[in-house]
Amino acid sequence: MKRDINKREVDEILDILEQIYPDAKTELNHSNSFELLIATILSAQCTDKRVNIVTKELFKECKTPEDYLKFTQEELGEKIRTCGFYKNKSKNILRACKMIIEEFDGEVPDTREDLMKLPGVGRKTANVVLSNAFSVDAIAVDTHVFRVSNRIGLANSKNVLDTEKDLMNNIKKERWSKAHHLLIFHGRRICKARKPLCNECPLTNYCNYYKENFK
C-alpha cells in the first residue's frame, strides 16, 4: 500500500532533483510563445530532439500564423512528416493559426481556457505554453511526469488529470513549473519507462516503486 507523502518530503525530493538538474527547462527550441505552441503541438508522440530538427528549418520559413496559412495541409504535412501523425498535426496547426488570427488578434492567448480552444491544444500543451511562455505557475503532465511522480509517490493516481491535481496539491505553487521540468529530466535520464536506473537514483529513500520492487 502506497503511503501518503508529506510536504517536507516533497520539498526534499525537489531539492535533490534541483541539485542534479540545475538547468532543467523545456528542451523544445523556441524564441517566442507562438514558436513554443507550434513545437509543443509537434511534440505529441515525438521526441523533443526530432521536433527541434524539424523546427530548425520550419521556423526560418514560418514566423507568424499568416506564414503557415500560405501552405496547404499537404504541403505543411511534408515539412513536419518526420514528427509523426503529420496529417493530423498539419491540420491542427493550420486551424489553430486561423483561429489565432481571427479570434485572438494574431497573438497566442495567455489563459488556459483560451489556449484549449485552439485545435490540437489539450491541457498538457496549454500548461506547457502558460508555464514557459507566460511564466504562469502550471504543471504539464506528460508521460514522464505521470510515470515518475506516481512511482515516487508525489502523486497516486491512474490518470493524467488526477495526477496533475495531486501534484498541485502536494507541491508548493511557486515550484510547480520547475517541478514539471525536474520530473521530465529525471524520467528521461534515470527513471526510464522500461528499465529505471534505480541503482543510480538518489530518491530511493522516498520512492514507492523502489520500496515495492527492491526491498
- Catalytic annotation, residues: 124, 142
DSSP 8-state code for residue 169 = H
CB 68 within 8 A of CB 75: no
* Residue 14 cell numbers, joined: 525537489
CA-nearest of 146, 147, 148 to 163 is 146
Q: Please enumerate in sequence order all residues whose Cβ is within 8 A of that of 20, keeping only pairs 6 or more positions apart, or say none.
A: 185, 186, 202
User: Residue for cell digits 503541438?
Assistant: 41
CA-nearest of 138, 120, 133, 215 to 176 is 138
Q: Please enumerate in sequence order all residues whose Cβ is within 8 A of that of 202, keeping only pairs 6 or more positions apart, or say none.
A: 16, 20
Report the alpha-carbon distance of residue 74 to residue 78 in Å, rounded. 6
3-state secondary structure of 91: helix
Q: Which helix (H) or strand (E) holds 54?
A: helix 48-61
